[in-house]
């Protein structure tokens, strides 16, 4: 296959146990028929959230199946591409939330809550009284952000509310927020509204949809994604630059040669600073440390 098609989607909709089961069955049936389908779809009483991949035909069949359920008629799909299969298999999972933020209390009830299309987003960003917030975690914002955006530098979403309260912004401050595909902002905007902010807007479809319409727009760098591609570039193609660091699992772009086995590898910036992590794997790191301590003990015993 020349190229895999990848699509990300979500929809908040209150689903009964029965509806969840019917969606699950329809998706499993499709996966049974289309062997190239891969990815993960999460189902919860609050809705659906997934990223899947396959041939162009398989992906459009999946879209049809999802849209055939009444609550998901208007669901937005955000497409990107990949040369290697980004998922080994297809799975559905049932969870409490469709995006794990540990906030089952924050569930959007309206289909639309100050959503901005990519064009509207550009217009709003050009105004000088706006603050742009990236609602993603620090390991994601490091790879790329919108021009001039504020990075809350959070490790988990639960720190977001605290960040907003300590920001010192007036309650009427105009705020624009964005994330990868839009889902996190659906909850983040509710949290800000609960805190009394009324002038908050969210980028519909997130960075992924924005890049489709404005690859040379106001987003700089690459966009972290939650699959083997690690990130996508501004053309929505799999990153050539970032890999997951074999030592800590964070994305990195430091190309090194393993100090033990001489294999080429990409590690992250912070692991680069530790001698034993200038290695290709945990295994080489372990052996490197052992060699060092053996060398130390033999030099101390010869004294
Ligand atoms: Zn690392
Ligand atoms: Zn090695």
For residues 268 and 88, give the distance between their C-alpha atoms in angstroms, rounded to a whole number. 25
Domain formed by 4-94, architecture: 2-Layer Sandwich (3.30)
Tokens of 265: 């590898």
Looking at all shown ligands, the one closest to residue 245's CA atom is 1
Tokens of 200: 């908050």
**pLDDT tens profile 88-145:** 899 999 999 998 788 888 888 877 899 999 999 999 999 989 999 999 999 999 999 9
Tokens of 11: 């929809």
Looking at all shown ligands, the one closest to residue 246's CA atom is 1
Ion ligand 1, residue ranges at CB < 5 A: 245, 247-248, 268, 271
pTM of the model: 0.87
Q: What are phi and psi of 65, to 5 degrees?
A: -60, -45
Query: How remote is the CA of residue 247 from the centroid of ligand 1, in Å?
Result: 5
Find all residues with CB under 8 Å of 130, minimum gap 6, and list them: 124, 174, 175, 176
Give 167: exposed, middle or buried? Use CB within 10 Å, 0-12, 13-18, 19+: middle
Same fold, 4-94 and 115-227: no
Model confidence band, residue 299 (pLDDT cutoffs 50, 70, 90) = confident
Which residues are catalytic, by number? Answer: 179
Model confidence band, residue 152 (pLDDT cutoffs 50, 70, 90) = very high
Give residue limits of the domains in the chain.
4-94, 115-227, 251-301
**pLDDT tens profile 285-298:** 999 999 988 888 88
**Count of residues making up the chain:** 303
Q: Are 5 and 12 in contact (CB under 8 A)?
A: no
Query: How remote is the CA of residue 143 from the centroid of ligand 2, in Å?
Result: 26
The CATH T-level fold of domain 115-227 is Oxidized Rhodanese; domain 1 (3.40.250)
Tokens of 223: 């966009």
For residues 160 and 99, give the distance between their C-alpha atoms in angstroms, rounded to a whole number. 15
């Amino acid at each position: 296959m020349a190229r895999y098609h990848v699509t990300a989607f979500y929809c908040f909709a209150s689903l009964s146990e029965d509806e969840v089961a019917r969606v699950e069955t329809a998706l499993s049936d499709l996966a049974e028929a289309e062997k190239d389908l891969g990815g993960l779809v999460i189902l919860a009483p609050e809705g659906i959230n997934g990223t899947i991949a396959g041939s162009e035909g398989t992906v459009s069949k999946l879209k049809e199946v999802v849209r055939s359920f009444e609550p998901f008629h208007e669901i937005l799909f955000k497409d990107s591409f990949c040369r290697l299969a980004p998922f080994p298999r297809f799975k559905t999972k049932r969870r409490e939330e469709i995006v794990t933020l540990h906030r089952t209390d924050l569930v959007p009830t309206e289909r639309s809550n100050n959503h901005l299309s990519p064009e509207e987003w550009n217009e709003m960003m050009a105004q000088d009284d706006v603050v742009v917030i990236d609602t993603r975690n620090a390991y994601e914002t490091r790879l790329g952000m919108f021009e001039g955006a504020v990075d809350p530098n959070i490790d988990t979403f639960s720190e977001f509310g605290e960040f907003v309260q300590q920001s010192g912004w007036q309650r009427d401050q105009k705020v624009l927020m964005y994330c990868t595909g839009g889902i996190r902002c659906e909850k983040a905007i509710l949290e800000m509204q609960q805190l009394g902010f009324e002038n908050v807007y969210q980028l519909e479809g997130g960075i992924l949809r924005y890049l489709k319409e404005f690859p040379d727009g106001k987003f700089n760098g690459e966009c972290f994604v939650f699959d083997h591609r690690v990130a996508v570039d501004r053309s929505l193609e799999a990153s050539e630059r970032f890999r997951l660091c074999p030592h800590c699992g964070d994305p990195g772009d430091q190309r090194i040669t393993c100090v033990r086995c001489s294999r080429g590898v990409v590690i992250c910036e912070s692991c680069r600073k530790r001698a034993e992590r200038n290695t290709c794997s945990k295994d080489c790191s372990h052996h490197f440390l052992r060699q060092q301590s053996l060398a130390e003990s033999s030099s101390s015993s010869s004294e």
